[in-house]
């Protein structure tokens, strides 16, 4: 089976893509990005916006429904197909692009680009992070802005979830399960590999199981400032989740 650490763009495929929304523990909320998008709209009432790593449409579709001129980009064709299906169910028209955030090339520029959740941490090397910030800057109009959500996980706290199972039952009686079977911090102290096990158990007891490595990497404030500065951003503000300046 493909390892996400070897093929990061392919982690969210197949069964993992199908089970993402039902089993995700923390959903990206549209309200968390409205203030950022509204600033772009004040600069330009017809602002064009782009969400990178839009996945199955959280929070993209809620924001499109609210009237934002927002497009999406994702590396997983399976997740994009789910997003299109969700949009059709809701009667929404949305423009979606297939590509990786470290190499995408689109024919237009945007007033605002953002990455919801902590998807930036899916970039598994400093080189990929540098390329991604450069692509973001290249795709902004002069004066445009970017929002990159970051996190630094606590490996010790995460180990408490080893072996625990998150399970939901669908209206059709299927049992959907996800669990973490292994966790391994890298020696550099900035990367972490979690082995995740996804299961779909039909009413007749037959099951489908996928186990994949999920590798994430994070950047301290001085490093993310360096990356953004090298990409061409001349003003960088690091904000805490609840607002105000982030702690060091």
- For residue 243, give the DSSP letter: S
- Angstrom CA distances, 48 to 116, 141, 213, 227, 232, stand at 17, 10, 35, 25, 20
In a 13 Å sphere around the CA of 108, the CA atoms on its Cβ side amount to 13
Token pair 């301290």: residue: 220
Angle at 86 between CA 147 and CA 100, to 5 degrees: 45
Check residue 7 and give its pLDDT: 61
* H/E run at residue 18: helix 14-23
Check residue 5 and give its pLDDT: 45
**pTM for the whole thing?**
0.94
Check residue 186 and give its pLDDT: 92
Token pair 């409205």: residue: 34
* H/E run at residue 217: strand 207-217
The residues pairing with 212 across neighbouring beta strands, listed in sequence order, are 196
Check residue 6 and give its pLDDT: 52
Check residue 1 and give its pLDDT: 40
CA 112 to chain centroid: 16
Give the chain's residues under pLDDT 50: 1-5
- Side by side, the strands of the sheet bearing 165-169 are 165-169, 175-185, 191-201, 207-217
Check residue 25 and give its pLDDT: 83
Segment 154-206, tens digit of pLDDT: 999 999 999 999 999 999 999 999 999 999 999 989 999 999 999 999 999 99
Q: CA 213, CA 224: separation in Å to the nearest integer?
A: 25
């Amino acid at each position: 089976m493909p390892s996400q650490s070897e093929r990061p763009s392919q982690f969210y495929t197949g069964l993992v893509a199908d089970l993402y929304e039902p089993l995700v523990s923390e959903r990206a909320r549209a309200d968390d990005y409205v203030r950022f998008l509204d600033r772009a709209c004040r600069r330009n009432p017809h602002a064009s916006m782009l969400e990178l790593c839009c996945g199955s449409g959280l929070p993209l579709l809620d924001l499109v429904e609210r009237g934002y001129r927002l497009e999406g980009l994702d590396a997983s064709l399976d997740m994009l197909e789910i997003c299109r299906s969700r949009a059709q169910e809701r009667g929404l028209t949305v423009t979606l692009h297939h590509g990786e955030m470290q190499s995408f090339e689109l024919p237009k520029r945007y007033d605002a680009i953002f990455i919801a959740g902590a998807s930036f941490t899916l970039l598994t090397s400093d080189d990929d992070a540098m390329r991604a910030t450069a692509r973001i800057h290249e795709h902004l109009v002069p004066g445009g802005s970017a929002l990159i959500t970051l996190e630094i996980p606590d490996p010790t706290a995460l180990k408490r979830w080893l072996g625990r199972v998150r399970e939901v039952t669908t209206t059709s009686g299927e049992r959907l399960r996800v669990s973490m079977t292994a966790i391994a911090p890298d020696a550099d102290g900035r990367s972490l590999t979690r082995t995740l096990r996804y299961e779909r158990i039909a009413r007749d007891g037959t099951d489908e199981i996928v186990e994949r490595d999920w590798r994430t990497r994070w950047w301290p404030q001085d490093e993310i400032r360096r990356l953004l500065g090298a990409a061409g951003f001349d003003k960088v503000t690091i904000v805490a989740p609840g607002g105000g300046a982030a702690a060091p």
